[in-house]
Amino acid sequence: MQPIQAPYPLGRFRRLRRTGALRALVQETQLTAGDLIWPVFLCDGSKRRDPVASMPGVDRLSLDLVVEAAAQAADLGIPAICLFPYTDPSLKTADCREAWNPENLTNRAIRAIKAAVPDIAVMTDVALDPYNSHGHDGIVEDGVILNDESIVALVKMSLAQADAGADILGPSDMMDGRIGAMRAALEEAGHRDVTIMSYAAKYASAFYGPFRDAVGATGALKGDKRTYQMDPANSDEALRLVARDLAEGADMVMVKPGLAYLDICRRVKDAFGAPTFAYQVSGEYAMIKAAAANGWIDGEKIMLETLVAFKRAGCDGILTYFAPEVARLLAR
């Protein structure tokens, strides 16, 4: 693009900013409810709504309530909901076998939502951390997170979720080779149309803190995730990971966290043109909510500003805990 601009005073940028109508005409990106994926936390029981202390406005929901929430989301035009289970510590083991139990919390929730609200897409998390007594996303032996052994477990987990009716599998584990292994297993099992949104560029980030509280992983995690999640200082590596995951059969790719990594979103979109998503993670949500609660910022305006920034950076959609709040606001 070769911008041509008449010199001042012939050219005045403020002409097109003078009224709301003119501003609307030249707006380059739009945020709609259709851009949103809503991450929700599951808990056992019924009629249960447990607030997550570090994420004001976010609750862990029992299955009956998550079905209601999915119906409300669908009414608001939100196309997808993403499930994260709070797992009872007694179900966490070194071999993570609860991850592929057809009756685990996530798989029961997938079936319940698909039965009651068939139009909403159900996305899952494919990683072992909710089920791992070590709190890691893969199988741990002598303090080492084993790549290839983890893939075997992740494939079993993916197939159980696909069997339950998941529309989008979201591998967030960052093991090498998992996308190819999952895609091959899905093909072989006849799950040809199950989509994969790869957490392709997932950084080892302190922004995940409140999430780990929400899923009960904070106390469980030994050490950190830097041997499998990315170094926040790296950018070229993100492109190589996205290229790799697309080549292995991912349908969509994700960058995570969001706001501090918009440069990565833009590079990924420009380089590949694939459906690109960002995850506005728990810490980003918590920071906005906390500052707003103190009266230091306008929470609603900041919510909208951050979400439109993702669209401007090239994202096709955003995973955000603000999804129902922002969809309600956009509907007004």
Residues engaged in binding ligand PBG (CB under 6 A): 125, 127, 129, 137, 172, 208, 211-212, 225, 281-282
Q: How many CB atoms lie within 10 A of CB 162?
A: 21
Query: Which lies closer to ligand PBG via its Cβ, residue 129 or residue 245?
Result: 129
> Which are the contacts of 31, defined by CB distance < 8 A and separation ≥ 6?
304, 307, 308, 311, 326, 330
Active site residue 256: yes
Query: Which lies closer to ligand PBG via its Cβ, residue 62 or residue 172?
Result: 172
Question: Least distance in Å: CB of 208 to ligand PBG?
Answer: 4
Question: Which of 92, 225, 256, 289 is labelled catalytic?
Answer: 256
User: CA 248, CA 180: separation in Å to the nearest integer?
Assistant: 5
User: CA 135, CA 163: separation in Å to the nearest integer?
Assistant: 25
Active site residue 311: no
Query: Which lies closer to ligand PBG via its Cβ, residue 225 or residue 269?
Result: 225
303 close to 263: Cβ distance less than 8 angstroms: no
User: CA 41, CA 97: separation in Å to the nearest integer?
Assistant: 20
Residue nearest to ligand PBG (CB): 211
Peptide linkage before 257 cis (omega within 30 of 0): yes
- DSSP element (H, E) containing 311: helix 299-312
DSSP E strands, 172-220 = 195-202
Question: Least distance in Å: CB of 281 to ligand PBG?
Answer: 4
User: CA 313, CA 173: separation in Å to the nearest integer?
Assistant: 25
Question: Least distance in Å: CB of 317 to ligand PBG?
Answer: 15
- Would the CA dihedral through 226, 232, 235, 241 be positive or negative? positive
Question: Which of 92, 202, 225, 289 is labelled catalytic?
Answer: 202
Question: Least distance in Å: CB of 258 to ligand PBG?
Answer: 10
Q: How many CB atoms lie within 10 A of CB 189?
A: 14
* Greatest alpha-carbon span in the chain: 72
Question: Least distance in Å: CB of 12 to ligand PBG?
Answer: 43
Cα dist from 186 to 123, 181, 193, 223, 275, whole Å: 15, 9, 9, 33, 20
Peptide linkage before 9 cis (omega within 30 of 0): yes
Question: Least distance in Å: CB of 261 to ligand PBG?
Answer: 13
Query: Which lies closer to ligand PBG via its Cβ, residue 23 or residue 306?
Result: 306
Query: Which lies closer to ligand PBG via its Cβ, residue 64 or residue 218?
Result: 218
Query: Which lies closer to ligand PBG via its Cβ, residue 67 or residue 215?
Result: 215
* Active-site residue list: 202, 256
